[in-house]
C-alpha cells in the first residue's frame, strides 16, 4: 500500500449556469441553476506542514504559498490566491484544525470571470482538498455511528458562501451550493435561510447554450463595487418600503411588529403584487424602486419557471427567461450591449428563451434550445455576434452547450 503522503488526489468542482433567479440569493430568495460539465480541479498531495503551495499551468496565475494559521491575510485585490485563502480561512474560523497542508496544481475548463462561478468552484475545490488532507469527510449529512469527523455538503456550502465574502463580494450562497449539490440531468432549486437544495429533472430534448459576451466580469476587481452597490440598494429599498407593506400584504410575516422591515420572501408571496408595487413606488426613489421591482418579480419568476419545468412546458420556461433578462436590463441595470445582442440573436434564431446569467456586467448569456434549434442558434451567434468581433469563429470556451452535471468531490488519482 502507498503511504498517505505519496498518494495524489484530485479535487474537482464544477462551475454553474444559473437558469433563472438572478440577484435573488443575497436577498434570501430562491435561485434555479445547473452545475455544469466544466470544472476547476486541484491535483494535490498532502504535506505534513500546515501550508498551501499551489501553481497553475497558466502564466496568468502566479504560484503562491501561505501558512494555514490564523489570521490568514488577503493577498492584493484581484489575486487568485484569495479564493484559496478564503476557503482555508472559512474552515479555520469554523474550528477545523488544518494541521496538514496541500501542494499541487490548479487547472480546469470552467471559463474564468464569465459569470459561471469559476471563483466559487476554486473555493469549494480548495476546501475539499484541505478537508481531505486533514481527514474530514464530506457526506450527505447522515448521522455517523463510528465517531469519525464529517461535514455535510449543505454545511460546507453555507460555510464556503460566508467564506467567499472574504474576497470582498457581498454575495449570496447560490454558487457554492450549486457546485456541491449538482445532479446530472437536473436543475437545482436552491433556497436559503436555511439552505435547501431540490433537484428538478430537465426534460429530455432541451439544451442550454452558453455564450460569452467577450467582456470579463471580474468580481474580485472591477465589477465588485457595482455588485455590492446593488446588494446595498436592495437592503435600503426593503427597509424604506415597510410603510407600504401592511400586515395583510405580507402573508408570511407572522407576528412581526409593524415597524419591522419585511423580508423579500414575504413580499414575493404577497396576494396582490401589482398593488404592492404601486404602493412601494410612491415611497421609494426611482432607482430603489427599480431594484425592488426586479427582486420581487424575479422571485415570482423562479417559482413559475420551476413549475414550468416540472410541467415540461419549456416554452413557458423560455418566456420567463426573457422576462428575467428584461428586468435585469431595465430595472437592475446589470446587462451590457453585448449581452443584449446575444439574447436578441439567440431568440431570432429560434431559442425558446435567453438571458444573461450570473451577476452581469459582462460574462455570459444562456439560451434555452430544443434539439432542433441548438445548431441554428450557435450558427447565428457565430455569424452575427462572434465573427464581426473576433474576425473568426468563437472558441469552445466562448460558445458551448452546458450539460447539467454532478457535484464537487475528491478522487484518488
Is cis: bond before 194, omega within 30 of 0? yes
CB atoms within 10 A of CB 135: 12
Residues 6 or more apart whose CB falls under 8 angstroms from that of 60 comprise none
Q: What is the dihedral of CA 193, 313, 331, 380, to 10 degrees?
A: 120
User: Which one of 25, 37, 175, 331 is the catalytic residue?
Assistant: 175
- φ, ψ of residue 86 in degrees (nearest 5): -60, -45
Angle, helices 153-164/81-93, rounded to nearest 10 degrees: 120
- Going by C-alpha positions, the residue among 69, 71, 124, 74 that lies closest to residue 100 is 69
Q: Cβ of residue 115: shortest distance to ligand NG1, in angstroms?
A: 4
- 28 φψ region: left (φ > 0), alpha (ψ -120 to 50), beta (else): left
Q: Cβ of residue 27: shortest distance to ligand NG1, in angstroms?
A: 9
What share of residues in the chain are helix, strand, coil (percent, to 5)? 40, 20, 35
Cα-to-chain-centroid distance, residue 113: 12
Please identify, using beta-carbon distances, which residue of 164 and 266 lies nearer to ligand NG1. Answer: 164
Tell which positions 356-395 bind ligand NG1, by CB under 6 A.
358-359
Binding range to ligand NG1, per CB under 6 A, among 56-64, 167-175, 254-262, 394-402:
167-175
- Going by C-alpha positions, the residue among 32, 48, 37 that lies closest to residue 12 is 37
End-to-end CA distance of the chain: 14
Please identify, using beta-carbon distances, which residue of 253 and 357 lies nearer to ligand NG1. Answer: 357
Q: Does 22 bind ligand NG1 (CB under 6 A)?
A: yes
Please identify, using beta-carbon distances, which residue of 43 and 164 lies nearer to ligand NG1. Answer: 164
SS3 199: strand
Q: Cβ of residue 361: shortest distance to ligand NG1, in angstroms?
A: 8
Using CB under 6 A, which of 28, 30, 111, 115 touches ligand NG1?
A: 115
Residues contacting ligand NG1: total by CB under 6 A: 18
CA 45, CA 56: separation in Å to the nearest integer?
Answer: 15
Please identify, using beta-carbon distances, which residue of 215 and 242 lies nearer to ligand NG1. Answer: 215
Binding letters toward ligand NG1, positions 170-189, x by CB under 6 A: -xx-xx--------------
Q: Quote the DSSP letter at residue 336.
A: -
CA 406, CA 412: separation in Å to the nearest integer?
Answer: 17
Using CB under 6 A, which of 82, 117, 126, 327 touches ligand NG1?
A: 117
Using CB under 6 A, which of 13, 25, 166, 179 touches ligand NG1?
A: 25
Please identify, using beta-carbon distances, which residue of 66 and 83 lies nearer to ligand NG1. Answer: 83
Q: Cβ of residue 60: shortest distance to ligand NG1, in angstroms?
A: 18
The answer to whether residue 109 is catalytic is no
Q: Cβ of residue 88: shortest distance to ligand NG1, in angstroms?
A: 17
Using CB under 6 A, which of 54, 169, 202, 267 touches ligand NG1?
A: 169
**Interface contacts to ligand NG1, rule CB under 6 A:** 18, 22-23, 25-26, 115, 117, 119-120, 164, 169, 171-172, 174-175, 219, 358-359
- List active site positions: 175
Amino acid at each position: 500500500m502507498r503511504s498517505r503522503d505519496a498518494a495524489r488526489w484530485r479535487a474537482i468542482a464544477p462551475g454553474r449556469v444559473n437558469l433563472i433567479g438572478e440577484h435573488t440569493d443575497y436577498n434570501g430568495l430562491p435561485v434555479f441553476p445547473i452545475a455544469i460539465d466544466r470544472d476547476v480541479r486541484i491535483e494535490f498531495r498532502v504535506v505534513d506542514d500546515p501550508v498551501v503551495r499551489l501553481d497553475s499551468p497558466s502564466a496568468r496565475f502566479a504560484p503562491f504559498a501561505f501558512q494555514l494559521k490564523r489570521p490568514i491575510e488577503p493577498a492584493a485585490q484581484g489575486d487568485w490566491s484569495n479564493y484559496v485563502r478564503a476557503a482555508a480561512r472559512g474552515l479555520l474560523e469554523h474550528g477545523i484544525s488544518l494541521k496538514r497542508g496541500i501542494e499541487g496544481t490548479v487547472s480546469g475548463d470552467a471559463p474564468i470571470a464569465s459569470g459561471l462561478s469559476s471563483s466559487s468552484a476554486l473555493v469549494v475545490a480548495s476546501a475539499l482538498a484541505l478537508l481531505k488532507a486533514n481527514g474530514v469527510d464530506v457526506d450527505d449529512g447522515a448521522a455517523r455511528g463510528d465517531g469519525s469527523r464529517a461535514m455535510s455538503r449543505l454545511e460546507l456550502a453555507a460555510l464556503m458562501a460566508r467564506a467567499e465574502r472574504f474576497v470582498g463580494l457581498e454575495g449570496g450562497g447560490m454558487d457554492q451550493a450549486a457546485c456541491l449539490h449538482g445532479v446530472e440531468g437536473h436543475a437545482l432549486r436552491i433556497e436559503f435561510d436555511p439552505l435547501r437544495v431540490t433537484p428538478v429533472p430537465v426534460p429530455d430534448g432541451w439544451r442550454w447554450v452558453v455564450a460569452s459576451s467577450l467582456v470579463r466580469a471580474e468580481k474580485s476587481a472591477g465589477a465588485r463595487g457595482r455588485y455590492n452597490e446593488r446588494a446595498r440598494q436592495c437592503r435600503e429599498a426593503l427597509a424604506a418600503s415597510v410603510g407600504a407593506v401592511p400586515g395583510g400584504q405580507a402573508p408570511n410575516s407572522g407576528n412581526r411588529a409593524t415597524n419591522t422591515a419585511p423580508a423579500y420572501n414575504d413580499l414575493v408571496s404577497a396576494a396582490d403584487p401589482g398593488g404592492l408595487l404601486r404602493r412601494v413606488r410612491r415611497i421609494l426613489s426611482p432607482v430603489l424602486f427599480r431594484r425592488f421591482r426586479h427582486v420581487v418579480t424575479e422571485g415570482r419568476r423562479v417559482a413559475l419557471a420551476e413549475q414550468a419545468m416540472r410541467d415540461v412546458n419549456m416554452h413557458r420556461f423560455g418566456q420567463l427567461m426573457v422576462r428575467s433578462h428584461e428586468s435585469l436590463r431595465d430595472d437592475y441595470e446589470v446587462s451590457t450591449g453585448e449581452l443584449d445582442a446575444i439574447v436578441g440573436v439567440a431568440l431570432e434564431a429560434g431559442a425558446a428563451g435567453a438571458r444573461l446569467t450570473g451577476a452581469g456586467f459582462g460574462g455570459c448569456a444562456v439560451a434555452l434550445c430544443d434539439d432542433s434549434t441548438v445548431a441554428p442558434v450557435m450558427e447565428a451567434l457565430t455569424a452575427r455576434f462572434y465573427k464581426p468581433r473576433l474576425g473568426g469563429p468563437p472558441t469552445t470556451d466562448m460558445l458551448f452547450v452546458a450539460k447539467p452535471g454532478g457535484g464537487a468531490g475528491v478522487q484518488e488519482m
